[in-house]
Amino acid sequence: MTSSTPVAEPYLSVVAPLYNESENVAPLIEWILEALRDFPRSFEVVLVDDGSRDDTWTKVVNGAAANSQVRGIRLARNAGQTAAMMAGFDHARGQVIVSLDGDLQNDPRDIAALVSRLEEGYDLVCGWRQQRQDKLLLRKVPSWVANRMIRRLTGVPITDNGCSLKAYRRELLDRIPLYAEQHRFIPALSASVGARIAEMPVRHHARRFGESKYGISRTVKVLVDLLTLKMITTFRSRPLLGFLIATALPLTAAVAFGIMWLIALTQFGHDKARAMVFPAAAALSLAAAFYLFMLGLVAEVALSNERESANATPTAWEAR
């Protein structure tokens, strides 16, 4: 496969993170190039080696040498899938970016369809894996539960948040705060900045080489991350309010202990010392409420700087 002239400013960037995917690199490149052969506009492929311990990087270098449309980025250490995707996004030069898994489970033949859907006027088009070729109990059931919860909590009606095959507009990626292990929440994060989101069915294949880097423990982490994200997006502009709501719990407890104290006093009459546990518990609860209030103030102070810069560049999606 001889290379055409190098692409200066491609229209489309295909980003794939790779971690210990040595055997998959060459087929992946070949498959993507094959799938995009009839793509009407210029494109590039950005492969991100996320600190692999095998010879993934050598394969990427070979692929880049053989095809001018292929570029490679090697991270200094294993930074995780989200960070690897971010690295790819940061180095991608296209106006439209498509991400996909480096394990050949996504089908590059769907890329063109995703892009044309995006061009219909969306900022984000998510793939929805049909006939998912993964283990039922370890992958599909946890994923189903997680997706349901993500849908419920974020209110973004995306069926398959875990699918890596997605198409984005560059401007959207510049706006969403992506960090830690949050690539799963890209739809939710995008919705929170006002992006228009679509979902379309894509093909899914069983793994051919290498092994999955996921396990069931991930689902628990995803759920914790989800709750965190929910709380942050709800209260990021007014943390004090969130903490004030949280004080309701210890305040209620304080009142309850106070009432119990009064009841105990009437029961024990002169033996007041026996009922001293209740006022102490009430005082503790009050202290907790006070602490939460203070924490809310700290959060407000911590955010004051950020908010100034946020005012300069509004998070809401305005002009298109």
Partner 1 sequence: MTAKGARMQPMETPILPAQRPAEQMISVVVPVVERVDDLTALYRAFAGELKRLGEEFEFLFVFDGGFAPSPELTALAAGSDHIRLHRFAQRFGETAALRLGIERSRGDLLITLPSYFQVLPEGLGPLIAAVSGGAEMAVANRSPRLDSWLNRLQSRAFHQILGNIADTRFHDMACGVRVMRRTVAESLPLYGDMHRFIPALAVREGYKVSEIPVPQHPNDARMRVYGPGVYFRRLLDIATFFFVAKFTEKPLRFFGLVGSVSLAIGGAIGLALIVEKIGGHPISNRPLLLLGVLLVALGVQLIGLGLVGEIIVHLRAPHRRVYRVREQV
DSSP notation for 212-262: ----THHHHHHHHHHHHHHHHHHHTT-HHHHHHHHTHHHHHHHHHHHHHHH
Asked if residues 231 and 243 have their Cβ atoms less than 8 Å apart, the reply is no
- Residues 90 to 129: which contact partner 1 by CB under 8 A? 90-91
For residue 21, which of 92, 90, 100, 97 has the smallest C-alpha distance? 100
Please identify which residue in 232, 241, 245, 262 interacts with partner 1, judged by CB under 8 A: 232
* Residue 180 structure tokens: 């830690």
Please identify which residue in 77, 121, 136, 269 interacts with partner 1, judged by CB under 8 A: 77
Stretch that binds partner 1, among 6-14, 106-114, 121-129, 284-292 (CB under 8 A): 284-292
Whole-angstrom distance, CA of residue 221 vs CA of residue 215: 11
Nearer to partner 1, 2 or 313 (CB): 313
SS3 of 144-177: the string is HHHHHHHHHHHCCCCCCCCCCCEEEEHHHHCCCC
Whole-angstrom distance, CA of residue 175 vs CA of residue 172: 5
Please identify which residue in 83, 124, 191, 197 interacts with partner 1, judged by CB under 8 A: 83
Nearer to partner 1, 113 or 178 (CB): 178
Q: Is 303 in the site for partner 1 (CB under 8 A)?
A: yes
Nearer to partner 1, 138 or 240 (CB): 240
Q: Using alpha carbons, list the distances in angstroms from residue 282 to 99, 245, 278.
A: 54, 19, 6
Please identify which residue in 73, 104, 202, 226 interacts with partner 1, judged by CB under 8 A: 73
Q: Is 292 in the site for partner 1 (CB under 8 A)?
A: yes
Stretch that binds partner 1, among 86-94, 129-137, 140-148, 202-210 (CB under 8 A): 86-94
Kind of pairing between the strands at 12-18 and 43-49: parallel
Identify any residues that bridge with 288 across adjacent strands, giving them in sequence order: none
Whole-angstrom distance, CA of residue 238 vs CA of residue 232: 10
Query: Is 92 buried (19+), middle (13-18) or exposed (0-12) by CB count in 10 A?
Result: buried
Nearer to partner 1, 119 or 306 (CB): 306
Stretch that binds partner 1, among 34-42, 117-125, 178-186, 204-212 (CB under 8 A): 178-186
Site string for partner 1, 241-270 (x = CB under 8 A): -xx--x--xx--x---x--x---x---x--
* Residue 238 structure tokens: 């007014």
Site string for partner 1, 33-52 (x = CB under 8 A): ------------------x-
Nearer to partner 1, 127 or 296 (CB): 296
Total residues at interface with partner 1 (CB under 8 A): 61
For residue 178, which of 63, 278, 256, 87 has the smallest C-alpha distance? 87
- Chain positions contacting partner 1, by CB under 8 A: 51, 60-61, 64-65, 71-77, 79-80, 83-84, 86-87, 90-91, 177-181, 224, 228, 231-232, 235-236, 239, 242-243, 246, 249-250, 253, 257, 260, 264, 268, 274-275, 277-278, 280-281, 284-285, 287-288, 291-292, 295, 298-299, 302-303, 306, 310
